[in-house]
Structures are given as structure tokens and as C-alpha cells.
Amino acid sequence: MDASIKNYYLAIGKIQKCIANAETLDEAFQGSLRIIIENCNAEQAVIWYADKSDKDRLHPYYWISPLDMMSRTHSAGEGAVGRVYASQKTEYIPDFKAAPDSFTAADFDGVEVGSMICVPFSNEYENLGCIQLITTSGNRSFTEEDADMCEIMVMMAAMAITDNEHRLVPWHGGEVVISLSDICREFKNGEVITKVLKGVNLDIYKGEFLVLLGESGCGKSTLLNIIGGMDQATSGSFTYMGEDFSHATQEQLTEFRRSNVGFIFQGYNLMPNLNAIQNLDLIGELVEDPMDSSEALELVGLSERKTNYPSQLSGGQQQRVSIARALVKKPKLILADEPTAALDYATSIEVLTVMERIVESGATLVMVTHNEEISRMADRVVHMRNGRMYEVTVNRHRAHAADLVW
Amino acid sequence: MKKTQIKELFSNIKATFMSFMAIVLFVVLSVGVFTGISWTSPALQRSAEEIFDEGNLCDIEIQFPNGLTDEDLQQIMALDGVDEIATGYSSLQMMKRNGKEYVTKVMSLTENINVPVQKDGRLPRNEGEIALNKSWAKDQGIKVGDTVTFKHDGSAGDRDGMKYLTEDTYLVTALVESPAYISYSLSSYGFANIGSGYIQCLAFTAPQSFDTSAYPGYTQAFIRSNMLRSSSTSDEEYMRLSQQLKDRISALGDNLARERYGMIWEEAKGKLEEGYEKLSEAEAKIKDAEKKIKEGKKTLAEGKAEYAAQEKKLARGLSQLQAGQQQYNTAKANYEKASATYKDIKKSRSQLKEEDLTYKEITEMNRQLNSFSKDANMKDFGSDNVAQLQGTLDEITEKFDEETWEEDTELTSAYRRQVLSDMDEAIDEGGKELASAKKELDKSDKKLKEGWNQYYAGAAKLKEARQQIEAGEKKLDKKIKQLEESKKKYEDGKAKLEDYEKQLSKIKDYDWTVLSREDNGGVLMMNQFSGLTENLRFSMAALFIIIGLLVSYSSISRIVRDQVVSIGTKKALGLRSREITLSYLAYSGAAVIIGGVLGLAAGSLVIERLLARPIGSRFIMGAYAPYFSTGEGLILMAIELAMILLTTWLACRSVLKQQAVELLKGEKPPSAKPRFFEKWKLWQRLPLFTKTVINNCINDKRRVFGTIIGIAGCTALMVTAILVNDNIQKSFERQYEDVYSYDTVVRYNVNYPDAEGEIAGALDKLGTESTPVYTGPYRLLQPDGRRSSVTVTVPYDEESFDNFVKMEPFGETADTEYDDGVWMNAAYSSHLGAEVGDKVEIMDSEGQIHEFTLQGFFKHYLLSNQMIMSREVYSNEFGQETEANAFLVDSGESGYQKVKDTLSGIKAVRMVKDDYKASENVFNEFSRITRAVIILYLVLSVLMAIIVLYDLYSVFIEEKKKELIVLMINGFSAGDARKYIYRDTIVLTVIGIILGIVFGVVMGNVTIMTLEPDIAYFVKGIDWFACIAGAAASAVLAVVLCAAALRKISAFKLSDINKL
């Protein structure tokens, strides 16, 4: 048997297994797409999903790409994605440069596309969307076998779509609070230069709960530091509310943090010699119109413990004080770095519940975590790998903290 | 240690380099300071030893005013340990130079012992040659080849009527440095009972320049012992053996001194008795002579009376003779005249003829005869015949005139014949009368001659008698003179005998004064400085060591805490606590070894030299011989190592006794808890920052304690240094503000009549206040067996004296007056433990010891012992009234120079001393050395403060780094974050400084006490300047170092939050 055919069948088997084991459509799709990319040498891929309220509009729901596709949409029939969605026919473009469709090309603005495969998927009632895979220029282009395999695999994945899986209820990010473009961060240690971030493109929207997931050393904390104005990118652009902080001075960054950012740390980092309310007061005094410290503590359910010192509080309570401290400035952006890493499950849920409430109140929250279960609470989940955004998932259904299990 | 552990050690050192260096530096400082100060003294002593060896300084010196005999010397030589002996003489002389007088100690040279080291010229070999100590000669501009003159006016070297020296003027043949006088300080030369009371110049001359008859024997002897050659003067062994030898000689001296005293006494007594015998013989002779003179005077008076009678008689005879002679002469003249007239007449008659008798001839003849007869002397001659002739002639002239004469020839012829006949008769008669007159005249002449002969014989006899009388008078005068001389001699002899008798009563039972090198003025002064450094090394090094240990503890504790997870991991991986501890012990051990080696190098190469220079400049020294003792260095390093290792172990102990699982959780934050005061409204009203600072201070006890101790320690070091310096300086000022109200001392020669009145008058005229006193230098025999100098002052006007010397009671002294007994300066009580009621002994310049009972002590801040007693107390002990010999003068607005100028014309004035300046010079000399030490101390203190404070602040910031980063992440600017630290730091710094001031004042006063020589009592107590300056210096250092450390905050990487 030809090796390629053998691989092809092996991949099919994997997809079948993935779909069978997947508990949700998202899992099935995302898992299948990963297998497809792995087996057809695709470098980037996007799952486009039809808007539930506007069936002619496709939104990116999941993508494996260093680009932030969130703000991009396609209309049915427009560009390769629109055409495939509308026609429900797979398109295979081996030489993208020769393709006339500028809309399709624009989907990967910033990446020089070499070849592309676009495969539609649907349930038994309606067209749901399509999957778009690309190779970049200079690398091997897709073959027809690849296109076939993709098509089969998508078909198989689509089989997992139940009646309940209708079109996407799109998440609208709204106003962009933070915009990161091609953010790179290098660290020099003697003559050794370590590139931690290698070109991150990400927009964070007002009221968004964004989770950054990834293995240790993938750059998620570094990215969080840059977002929080704690660190500066070696290159790339960082804007906050349209204001460019790429080359901000320390004073400007301090002002940025002071006025706009609340931090929640893994280790709580409360002032040990200040009691709970004093910890809040200390930070609240930095801004002109802070939240009342007692109110902030009440918000996190600790109004009874406000005179307690950190050493008199449990880990969860300390983290809740930490959250209250982040809130007291009424920041536009809350950054949380592994806020539950040091907590047990029950306490973590307590803390996450508080954070859920904060997000519901309209705050923008960016959380770094290892815990994929927590990412279910997010609007978007950014998986990072090797200094880049690797895949992004828009949660079609955000889980409640209380529903999380690990 | 295993290879990996060594690698980890190096890695650890690299990671905590600043802390490691802090420990290293403290070890360097403590070891360096201790060894540097400790080795200064032996280094100087070794340099001095070179001079001792070069000049063969005697090991023992014997001084014996009653004179050592050759037999004494033989017995000394026979003693065990005596290998070489030399004898000599010395005399105190007043050297006159440029209108000034200098008390000079002239000493005879010996061949081998105490040989001055010649620096220029050659040593004196002959009478009339002299060598002078180089330093003084240089000051005076005296060169080899110059001459110097000693004064002999009965007031100095020849005061006993003996000159001691054979010559007055000497040729300077050499400038020298004597091993017996290595200190440049005049007070180390000893005291004099002449002039200023202090020996100013040292002179050496050949023995033949001394008049040995003026000495009862050898008044000094120098001994060297071979058994002492194996060790140096400062060695314990030397002192032990030297003391033994001294004891042996003293024991011998006890007997020989008694014998010598007995011998001198008997000899003197015998001479006195012999003298009295001679005096009594002389008295008898004088009486005999007086009798004879009396008789002689009587005889002479009788002779003189006889002589006067004879003289009178002779005068009378002479008078008669002269009358007779006159008569004779007249008669003779008359005769000769008559004879001539006769001859003329006779001749004329023989030629005359009748016809020749003209009328004219007749009238002429008549006129001549009238004239002749009218001549009283001639009237006796031929009177009758002449009268006849004259009658004839008269008739002719009456009867005739010239014409008639010629006309009447007959008559005229008759008359002519008559005239001729009368003439012939008159001539004949005249011839006869002339012959008779001649006969008479010859008879008278003969008689007269006999009379003259008798007269001349009488006059000759009288002359002889006169001569005899004059000779008798002369003889008598001579005898009287001789008698007077004899009487004077007798009186002199009598006075001498009385004086001798007095002296005999004064012949004292002197002991041998046996002095070892320890008693040598220069060595004493060197030992004083050695004692100073000895005291300093402990007080200074102790501070550095204590603070160094605290810093080490703090550093190691921090390192251990920083590595608590690592320690937990090691424990979890199976390493034992002792194995982990070993790595930290190795860490601190490495720091001690590196610091110790560097400290030893710093001590011997830097600190030792820095201190040796100012001290050494006060002494005659050989080439500088740095001292380094490997043994001492190793012992010190071992002690330092043991202390630091103990500190390290203590720092590790609390962490290492925890379980691995606890350690793996990392360092626990301070467990703050609500305090009672938090409910107070006042607390609640406090600004949050204030609360934060207070909470930080309350809850972070370890850091707070460490910081406060560190700052307090540094402040204390600086306060100590400044306080010591300031109080020592202040002591001098205090003396002239609170104790002495005079600034000038006028010494005068009591032998000048009314010296006191003349000087007092001059001072009064100048408008200066003064008070008369007796003042003189004495040797003080301290209770510890050592000797020092003391100035005894006896007020003569106690009321005015109180205005010049205010005696503030010290210690337990009751508020009594000095006329109740003897008062001494406070140092004598504070250093030697003397108490009121104790006995105190002083030795006068003749070696006599006098004992007094101490009545009290008074505060006195100068570097000298002072003893004040009433005249009554003095006379009771000395057995004689003393005379005022000085004035204490408050020169006031006039100033010292004017007082000096005013008194310059008064011969009795010996010296006008600027007491203020002189005391200031002594103080400056002392404080120059202490200041060098204090500057070193201060520099090291500042260095230590820099290390400690920077380390503390750095550590503080490092410890607070996480909190600071959290604050900065939350929007605190770097400035806000710095405030968070420095507000905290300000509080701790202020507390630390306050504690440091307290500690510094205590340490400073303790240090002053250790620095005080036995004779000194310095001002103690709180010195506000030191407190403020020390606090200010600490504050400035704290601000600067805190600011430097706070700069780190700006460099914090906020992204490091996850690593902390």
C-alpha cells in the first residue's frame, strides 16, 4: 500500500476516534481540524461558522493561526469561504497567487498564502460553515489527495453535528481595548538571545473574558506582562484604546497601569503588613474615583474579613482580596495570572465565581491559566505555542464557574 | 566537601556577591583593626630596640646620691646576671644661650654603656668638649664646632659652692641621640631643682670634665646583663628577668647604702670635730694676737708721745739755732763789710797823701763815714776813732769850703795831717776791732756749728724714732689686719662648720634607686602609647567585631531565607541538615579566610603604619620594623572564624530544623495580626502610609531589629569617634575655663633679695592679677609601683589662689579645703583607685621620699599630675618652710607677651612660661596621636557604615522587592515605591540613630576611659556636638546610601513578579 494512502486511512481513523470521544461539537471540530492539519501539511486553518441570526454571514469560530481572525467575517458567496459555504462545494486552490479572489486572500492578511483548501460542512438541515486550510508561500502546496482527505475528514466531522448544533451565536467583541500587532519579545542573556514572543497578533475587546492557554514557556505570561504594561515588546505594536504604547516611557506605562489595569496574581501578593481593607485602600488611593474598598470586599464576599491580615486569611480568601484589590481602581482591564494555580478545587471555583461576576459586570478580563477547564468560561481562548498564538477558540457556549470540573 | 558542593559554593558566592563581600569586609575591618593596632606597639618597640642595641642601653641604672664606691661596684659585679658595669657622673647646669637659660643635664660618657649615637661630629674625648642631643641643638641652631657656656653664679650647678664641671665653656664636638632618652618629650628627661624645673637639654662630656672631688663617689652606675640579650625590652621574659636582677641589686643596695651612709656620717662627723678643734686653736691665737696688739699699741703711743716731745725740743733748738745763725750771719756780713771798708780805707790811706785831701775828698769821706756810722750793723766798728775822724771832717766842712780849703793851706795842712792822723788811728783802731770782731765771729761760728751739729744729731734721732714709730704702726696695722683676717677666717670657719654641721644633719640615709628599662622616661612614654594602643585595639576592634557579627548574621540569615526552597529541596532529596549547614559554613568560612588574609595584610601594611607614623615621630627610632605575627594572625582568624561559623550556624538553625515540606512552600510572609490599638480612633484617623510604616515596623521584627542595630551601630561608631575627639579637645578648654584662671607662670630665683616684691610690683603695675605660690616637680610613686611626675603647688595667698585654681571636688571628696591636707588631680583617683585617706608618696630631686595623706581629689583635665597642699602641710613633711618661687598670672588683656616683656628686665625672673600654650602643646602632642587613631576609627566607621547601611537598604529593598513590584504593577510609580521604602527607612533610621547616639555616648565615654593615660582625666558625658554630628553623618550616609539603594527600584523588572 502506498504510504500516503496508509497515512490517509490512519488519519481518518484518528478523526473517527476524535469525534467519537468528543463530548461537544467544538471538541470534535477542533480535534478533527488538528488531525487534518497534521496530516495534510496545512499550516493554518479556520473554521468559519454561520451566524445564527444572519445565515449569510460567516464568523471565525476556531482557528489555528498566529493571526487574530476575530474581527474578520465573510458573506455567503463572497470570496472562497463565502463561495464554498454558499455552494457547499470544496475548493482547492493549489496556487493561491493565481487566484483572483481578493477577499479570500484578505482572510489571511499578513500571511503569504501558498495554497488553500476550503471544505464546507453542514448538518442534515442546513449549511453551517466551512473549514479553510492554507499553506504558506514557499512551503509545499496542497495536493489533490490532501484536498480529498480534507473533504472526507470534514464530512466525517460534520457527522458529529447534531440537530442542536445550529449556527453559531456569534460573540461580538465590540470595542477593541487592547490591540497587539506582531508583538515580539526577546530576552538577552549574555550573547544568547531568547525569542519568547515571535509575533503575536491579538485584539482584546471590551468586556471580553480572554483566556491565554499554553504550556510553560510558550510566552503567555510574557504576553500578559506586555498587555499589562509591565513589560515592553521588543518589536510590534501595542495600543490601548487606540493609544500607542509600543514605545511608551516607564511613566506612561505606570500611568497606564495605574488608571486602567487591575492585577490578580497567582501568589496573591497582598501586602503582608496591611489588613484586607488596607490592601485595597493602598491601591484605591492611586486613582481619583476608586470603588469603595468595603464595597469591593463585599463584591468578593469578604466584607466580614476586612480587618483581617493576609496571614489570617485562607488562600482563597487572599485571592479574593487580591481580586477586590484589582477591582478597587475600577480598571478597564483586569489581568489574572494563574489566579487559581495555588488553590484547591473548591477554592478555585469560589475565586472563579467571583471573577465570573466581575466579567458579567462588564470588566475585561485576560487570564493566563494552565487549566483548560477554566478556559470554558472564557469568551475566547488563545492557545499559545512557541511564542505565537497557535489556535484561538471562540466559545460558542461559555461555561459557568460552578460547572467547571477538574 | 565534594566537588559539586564546591561548585555550589562558588555559585552561591557569585549569586550573593554583595553579601559575601560585606562579610569579607567586616572580617577585613575587624582583623585589620585589631592586628593593625595590636602590632603598632611591637613594631615601634622593635624600632626602638634597634636604638637600644646600637647604644647599648643599660638594663639597670643605679642612682645613689651618697656615691658608689669601688667596693660597691665589685659587689654588684659579683651578682648573678651582672656582666658589665659602667659608672658616671651627672650634673644639672644652666646653659646660657642668646640671653636665655636652659636647664641642661650634663652626663659623663662611658665606654660601652648608654653610648649616645653620634649623628654629627665625634664624641667628646677631652676636657672642654661636649656633645648635645641633636633635636635640641637643631632647634637652637647649634652646630658642631660651636661653643656652649654654663652659668656659675651660685644659683645653678655650683649652688653648693662646687662647680662639678671643670670648665664653663665647652666646644660642641658632636650632635647625638641617646638610647637612654628616646622620647622627644621634655618631661621624659626628668626634673630639675633649678631653672624651669624641667630638663631641656641633654649633654654628654668626657669624665675628666667633671670635678670628681665635688662628688662623694660615683653617683650613678649602668649595668648590662647578657641573660637579657635574648629578649627585647617589651618582652615578658625580659621584664621578668630584669625585675629579678633589679630585686637582687636592690637587696644588695639596701645593705651597702646603709654602710655607705654610716661611713659618710662618721667621716663627716670626724671632719667636723677636727674643724672645731682647729677653730678653737684659732680662737686662742686670735686672743693672743689681740693682747699683743694692745701692748704694741700702748708702746707705740708712748713712743709717739716721746717723739712729739723730742720733736718739740728739736724744733725749739732749731729755732734758737736759726736765730743764732741769723745773728752770726749778720755779724759776719757786718764784719765782712767792715773788713771790706777797712781794707778800702786802708788801701785808700796807703795811697792817700796830704795834698790828695781835697775838700771834695773830705766831704766824700765825711759822707761815707756818716753813712758807715749810721749803718746799725757797722756802728760798733771803730767808733771812737772814726768818731774822731768824723769830728775832724765835720770841723773841716764847717770851717772850710772848697775855696777856703785851698786858700788856707796851713790850716788845711793841719787838718790834712789831722785827718790823716785820725785816719791812721781809726785804721789802726779799726784793724784791731776787726781782728777782735773776727775772733768773736769765729767763736760764734764754732758755737753755732756745734749747735747745728747737735740739732742734726737730734733730728736724726727723731727721724729714727719716727721711722721706728711708723714701722711700729705698720707692724701693728699688719697685725690688726692679720687679726681681722684671722677673725674673719675664724668666723668663716665657724660658719662653715655650722653649715657643715647643718649639712651633716642633712646627710641622708639614701637608698639605691635601682631603675630598670621600664622606669626609663622614654620607655615609659613608649609603654604609655603601647597601653593606649592596647586599650584601643579592644575597644575599636570589639565594635567592628560585634557589628560585623550582626551583619554576618543578617547576611547569612537572608541568604538562607532566600534559599529556603532550595534548602527544602535538598532536604527532600535526602541531604542531611548538617550537610546543608556545611555548605553555609563553607560559605562564611570562605569569607572569613579571604577577609582574614586581607585583614592581616591591611593591618600590617596599612593600619599599623598609619598609627606608627604619628606615634613614632615622638621618639628616636631605628629603621621602621613592621611587625607581623603569623601565630597571632592565625589565632585571631580562628576566633573570627569560630564566631562567624557560630553566627552562621545560628542563622541556619531555625530554617534547617523545619521539615522539607514546610521549606518547599517558601519563605513565610510575616504573620501580621490585629493590634489592640487598631481599634483606637486615633489609629483609624492616621494616613494609610503611616499605618503601613507602623505595621511594617511592628510586624517585620527581624528586619526592623537588623536595620535598627545596623544604623545604631554605625551611628554609635561615628558618635564614639567624634565624642572621643571632641571631649579630649574640650578637656583642655575646660581646664582653662573651669579650673585655671591663669595662663602664665612666672618663676623666679628666690636667692635674689625682694624678688617676690619686685615681680609683684611689676605685675601690679601692668594691671594683671597674680598669686604667689611655691611650685616644683617631684616624682610620684604610684600605688602600682610605677613612677610618674607630679607638680606640687603650695599657695601663699590662699584667698587669691582660690581665684586662680578652682578645685571642684571629684568622686567622694568631701567639700573641704586643701589646707586640710593634700589634694590630687582626679586621674590619680580614677585610674589608680586612690581614695581619700590613702597615703601618697612623692620623691624629691634628691631621692628623699615624702608621704602625705590624701584629703581629696579635684577635677583637672591636663595631662599631668597635680598635688596641692597648704604651707603647713608642706612644712610639716619637709621640715622646713618653703618659699614662694612663682606667680600664677592671669595676663588678661595684656597678654602673655606683654607680661614677659615687662618682667624681662627683672634679674630674679627665671622664666615666664606661657602655661596655656605649653599645656596646649602637650595636649596637641597627645591629641595628634589620638586624632590619628580617631580619624582611622572614623574612616573605618564610615566605611563600615557604608557597607552596613547599603547592605541593609539593599537587603530591605530586596526583601520588599515583591511587594514593591506588586505596588508598581498596580500603578505605583518608581517614586511612589521609593517612598514606600524610605518612609519606612526614615523611621527605622531615626530610631537607629537615637539608639546609636545613646550607645555611642556610652561607648565614647568607655573609650575615653580606656584612652586616658594614668595622668589624664578627660571630660566625659554627653557631647551634643558629637551626638548631632554623628547623627547628621549617619543621616547623610543613610540618605545617600538609601537613595543609592533605592535606585534599584527603578530597575526592577515588573515581569519578575512570577519569579519572586
Please report the ipTM that was assigned to this predicted complex. 0.84
Instruction: Determine phi and psi for A302, rounding to 5 degrees.
Output: -125, 30
Are the C-beta atoms of A272 and A310 separated by less than 8 Å? yes
Q: In which band, very low, low, confident or very high, does the pLDDT at B391 lie, cut at 50, 70 and 90?
A: confident
Residue type, B782: Q
Instruction: Please say if the pLDDT value at position A166 is more than 70.
Output: no
Out of B698, B973, B1057, the one facing A265 most closely (by C-beta) is B1057
First to last CA, chain B: 30
Indicate the DSSP class of residue B520.
S
- Res B713: pLDDT: 82
- Pair B257, B458: CB distance under 8 Å: no
Q: Which residue has the higher pLDDT, B65 or A159?
A: B65
Average pLDDT, chain A: 85
Angle at B858 between CA B853 and CA B861, to 5 degrees: 130
Residue B767 C-beta-side C-alpha neighbours within 13 Å: 5
- CA B990 to chain A, closest CA, distance in angstroms equals 21
Q: What pLDDT was estimated at residue A200?
A: 92
pLDDT in tens, B665-722: 777 766 677 788 888 888 888 888 788 888 888 877 777 887 888 788 888 888 988 8
For residues B24-39, average pLDDT = 85
d(CA B73, CA B86): 9
Helices within B377-408 (DSSP H only): 383-399, 402-407
Q: Which chain A residues are Cβ-neighbours of B673 within 8 angstroms?
A: 309, 311-312
Provide the 8-state DSSP code for B739: I
Q: Which of A251, A282, A291, A319 to mutate to test the interface with B (most CBs of B within 10 A)?
A: A282
Cβ contacts (< 8 Å) between A309 and chain B: which residues? 671-674
Query: Measured between beta carbons, which residues in chain A are less than 8 angstroms from residue B695?
Result: 273-274
Angle between helices B236-351 and B70-77 (to 10 degrees): 160
A34 Cβ contact list (under 8 Å, min separation 6): A64, A391
Phi then psi for residue A120, to 5 deg, are -80, 155
**Cβ–Cβ contacts within 10 Å for residue A286, how many?**
19
| 3-state DSSP assignment of residue B516 | strand
Q: At what angle do helices B688-699 and A276-284 cross, to 10 degrees?
A: 140
pLDDT in tens, A254-299: 889 988 999 998 888 888 888 899 899 988 888 888 999 999 999 8
Distance from CA of A255 to the nearest CA of B (A): 6
Give A176→chain B minimum CA distance, Å.
Answer: 22
What is the SS3 assignment for B839?
Answer: strand
Q: Do residues A157 and A29 lie in contact, with contact meaning Cβ atoms separated by under 8 Å?
A: yes
- Taking residues B199-225, report their average pLDDT: 87
Whether B774 shows a pLDDT value over 50: the answer reads yes
Q: pLDDT category, A101, cuts 50, 70, 90?
A: low
Percent above pLDDT 70 for chain B: 95
Cα-based torsion angle of the residue sequence A339, A344, A346, A349 in order, rounded to the nearest 10 degrees? 20
Name the 3-class secondary structure at B165: strand
Residue A318 forms contact with B (CB below 8 Å)? no
Residue B692 neighbours by CB distance under 10 Å: 20
Q: Is residue B359 a contact partner of residue B406, using CB atoms and an 8 Å limit? A: yes
Count of other CB atoms within 10 angstroms of residue B1035:
17
Q: What are phi and psi of B155, to 5 degrees?
A: -115, -10
Task: List the grid coordinates of A331.
Answer: 480598571
φ, ψ for residue A377, nearest 5 deg: -80, -15
pLDDT digits (tens, 9 = 90+) for B529-547: 777 777 777 777 777 777 7
Phi, psi of A65 (to 5 degrees): -170, 150
A307 close to B (CB below 8 A): yes
Residues B346 and B426: their CA atoms lie apart, in Å, by: 10
Q: Which of A219, A238, A215 is nearest to A228 (CA)?
A: A238
**With 60 as the cut, is the pLDDT of residue B576 above it?**
yes
Interchain pair B966, A271: CB under 8 A = yes
Q: Do A171 and A156 touch, CB atoms closer than 8 A?
A: no
What is the count of residue pairs from A and B with beta carbons less than 8 Å apart? 101
Secondary structure, 3-state, B788-806: EEEEEEEECCHHHHHHHEC
Tell me the average pLDDT across B817-833.
78
What residue type is assigned to position B355 of the chain?
A: E
**CA distance linking residue A334 with residue A19, whole number of Å:** 36
Nearest residue to B910 via CA among B40, B102, B42: B102
More reliable by pLDDT, B621 or B61: B61
Mean pLDDT of the region B922-933: 78
Strand partners, A204: A178
Judge: A262–B678 Cβ closer than 8 Å, yes or no.
Answer: no
DSSP A273: T
**Region of B222 on the Ramachandran plot (φ > 0 left; ψ -120 to 50 alpha; else beta):** beta
8 Å CB contact of B1054 and A273: no
Percentage of chain A lying above the pLDDT 70 cut? 94
- Residue B858's nearest CA partner among B793, B917, B906, B947 is B793
Confidence tier at B170 by pLDDT (50, 70, 90)? very high
Angle of helix B521-562 versus helix B630-656 axis, rounded to 10: 30
CB within 8 Å of B988: residues ≥ 6 apart? B697, B704, B707, B708, B711
Give the whole-angstrom CA distance, residue B326 versus residue B302.
Answer: 35
Which residue in A has a C-alpha nearest to residue B701's C-alpha?
A273
| Minimum Cα–Cα distance from A225: chain B residue | B1055
Smallest Cα distance from A30 to chain B, Å: 32
Query: Are the C-beta atoms of A294 and A352 separated by less than 8 Å?
Result: no
Strand partners, B91: B106
What's the gap in Å between the CA of A361 and the closest CA on chain B? 21
Instruction: Identify whether the C-beta of residue A201 lies closer than 8 Å to the C-beta of residue A68.
Output: yes
* 8 A C-beta contact, residue B199 and residue B92: yes
Angle between helix B359-374 and B383-399 (nearest 10): 140
Mean pLDDT across B548-570: 81
How do B787-795 and B865-868 pair as beta strands? Answer: parallel
- The span from the CA of B175 to the CA of B157, in Å, is 22
Is there a contact between B692 and A271 if contact means CB atoms under 8 Å apart? yes
Question: Secondary structure of chain B: what % helix, strand, coil (to 5)?
Answer: 65, 15, 20
**Cβ of A337 under 8 Å from any chain B Cβ?**
yes
Contact (Cβ atoms closer than 8 angstroms) between residue B427 and residue B349: yes
Mean pLDDT of chain B: 84
A338, A266 Cβ separation under 8 angstroms: yes
CB contact set of B788 (below 8 Å; sequence gap of 6+): B524, B779, B780, B782, B865, B1014, B1015
- Say whether A221 and B691 touch across the interface (CB within 8 A): no
What pLDDT, on the 0 to 100 scale, is given for residue B143?
A: 92
Q: Helix-strand-coil percent breakdown of chain A, rounded to 5? A: 35, 30, 35
Asked if B472 contacts B296 with a C-beta cutoff of 8 angstroms, the reply is yes
Cβ–Cβ < 8 Å for B860, B827? yes
Contact assessment for residue A369 and residue A211, using Cβ atoms and an 8 Å cutoff? yes
pLDDT at A121 over 70: yes
pLDDT tens for B250-307 read: 889 888 888 888 888 888 788 888 888 888 888 888 888 888 888 888 888 888 888 8
Q: Is A275 on the interface with B (CB under 8 A)?
A: yes
Q: How far is residue A31's CA from residue A47's CA, in Å, rounded to a whole number?
A: 12
A249 → chain B, closest CA residue: B973
Which strands, in side-by-side order, build the sheet including A235-240?
Answer: A192-205, A176-189, A235-240, A243-244
Cell of B1010: 580606656
Calculate ∠ Cα B649-B652-B656, nearest 5°.
125
Helix (H, G, I), strand (E, B) or coil at B643: helix
Residue in A closest to B1050 by C-alpha: A250
pLDDT digits (tens, 9 = 90+) for A50-88: 887 888 888 888 888 888 888 888 888 888 888 899 888
Q: Chain A residue closest to B673 (CA)? A: A309
Whether the predicted pLDDT of B380 surpasses 70: no
DSSP output for B978-1033: HHHHHHHHHHHHHHHHHHHHHHHHHHHHHHHHHH--TT-----S--HHHHHHHHHH
Q: What predicted TM-score, i.e. pTM, was given to this entire model? A: 0.66
Task: Quote the pLDDT of residue B940.
Answer: 79
Q: Are B695 and A310 within 8 A, CB to CB?
A: no
Answer whether A283 touches B (CB < 8 Å).
Answer: yes
Nearest to A231 among B672, B967, B1055 (CB): B1055
The HSE-up count of residue B170 (CA atoms within 13 Å, CB side) is 35
